[in-house]
Copies of this chain bind each other. A is one copy, B any other.
Amino acid sequence: MSDATPTPLGPGGEFDRLRAVFARLGSRASGIGDDAAIVTVDGVRLALSCDLVVEGRHFRRDWLTPEEIGWRACAAALSDLAAMAATPLGVLAAVGVPEGSEGAFLEEMMEGVGQAAMFAGASVWGGDLVQAPVVTVDITVVGRAERPVRRRGARPGDRVWVTGSLGAPAAAVAAWEAGESPHPALRARFARPVPRVAEAAWLRDRGATAMLDVSDGLVGDAGHLAAASGVGVVIEAERVPVHGGVAAVDPSIPRSADPSIALRGGEEYELLVTLPPAFGDGEARWFVREFELPLTCVGEVREGAGVTVLRDGHPWDIGGGFSHFRAT
């Protein structure tokens, strides 16, 4: 039924816990370790994933409109399909809301879910609605995955690329947590992330060897990719594309000087992808023209294990990555 070869899991507390849980489930679990599970039903290959967001943990209600809460939850789940180069087909939305939020709040939030689904070409197939102490949204996404790109195909010599620019969502959260209003450009990247569905298919068609979306931070997700592929990943800090608004948050940190927020910040929903060396700057320019989105080479794949961040050519310890169990 399912493509059973397990993908090795990378570092991080959430992964450790999932690993323990799925180890205990033994052979009943399958398809674990990538952004989405790949299963074959009667010859049709599907990608499936779910993404649960909880008020107070992933967002606060005074940060976002109800519609943005719905969009963001749905876009985050769709990004897991994009990370596999799958084509979204449908979503199911299980929603918990506190008493008093069943009216306009709920309708506007579901409007955001529907908009994000429509944006990605998917239908809303179903849902569930219950009362809960805080706003709780679980989006399950289903896509067609004829030629999925997994985390485990990176080979020494491949180069490591990232779409878009990084750091804005973490900078927006930092501003909110400091009691300030984030710059609108930063806020928009947090509130309305864009699942890179078409971009992922384009990259697959150009030979992408491994791919995932940046949800745990660039370095953290590079670690997942390295573990899954059995390789080492080297990232050159100076190359990492930092969102233009990030420097505005803290002018003492010019964007060229300390890109660590772009290296650590999670919930970016950009693509981290490895491509053979034949894919070069010329090909990247086609991508930029097609999608009006940066595509930047940030490093390369080597023999070995883990992630090495280089700054001025020297290894640089940027500290902990992003964890859903600690951040926000």
Measured CB to CB, the residues of A under 8 A from B are 1-2, 14, 17-18, 20-22, 24-25, 28-32, 36-37, 39, 41-44, 46, 48-54, 56-58, 89-90, 92-96, 102, 106-107, 110-111, 114, 117-118, 123-134, 136, 138, 140, 142, 144, 324-325
Contacts and interface: CB of A to CB of B under 8 A. Distances in A.
A163 B176 CA distance: 54
B110 A37 contact: no
A46 B41 contact: yes
23 contacts: A14-B129, A21-B127, A21-B129, A22-B124, A25-B110, A25-B111, A29-B114, A32-B127, A39-B89, A39-B123, A39-B125, A41-B142, A48-B126, A49-B128, A50-B128, A51-B94, A52-B95, A54-B131, A54-B132, A56-B133, A57-B130, A92-B140, A94-B94
A123 B29 contact: yes
A48 B56 CA distance: 29
A79 to B, nearest CB: 13
A94 B126 contact: no
A144 B41 CA distance: 8
B124 A128 contact: no
Contacts of A132: 52, 54, 57, 134, 136
The 4 nearest A-B residue pairs measured at CB: A138-B138, A52-B94, A140-B140, A37-B126
Given A24-B107, A25-B124, A17 B129 contact: yes
Contacts of A93: 50
Contacts of A56: 133
Contact of A136 (B2, B30, B54, B144): B54
Contacts of A129: 14, 17-18, 21, 52, 324
Contacts of A92: 37, 48-50, 140
A16 to B, nearest CB: 9
A37 B90 CA distance: 10
B94 A50 contact: yes
Contacts of A20: 107
Contacts of A94: 50-52, 94, 138, 140
A43 to B, nearest CB: 8
A148 B44 CA distance: 19
Contacts of A29: 114, 123-125
Nearest to A23: B107
A189 to B, nearest CB: 21
Nearest to A92: B50
A152 B75 CA distance: 34
Given A32-B127, A43-B44, A129-B324, 16 more contacts: A2-B125, A21-B129, A22-B124, A24-B114, A29-B125, A30-B123, A37-B92, A39-B123, A48-B125, A49-B92, A49-B126, A50-B138, A51-B128, A52-B94, A52-B128, A133-B134
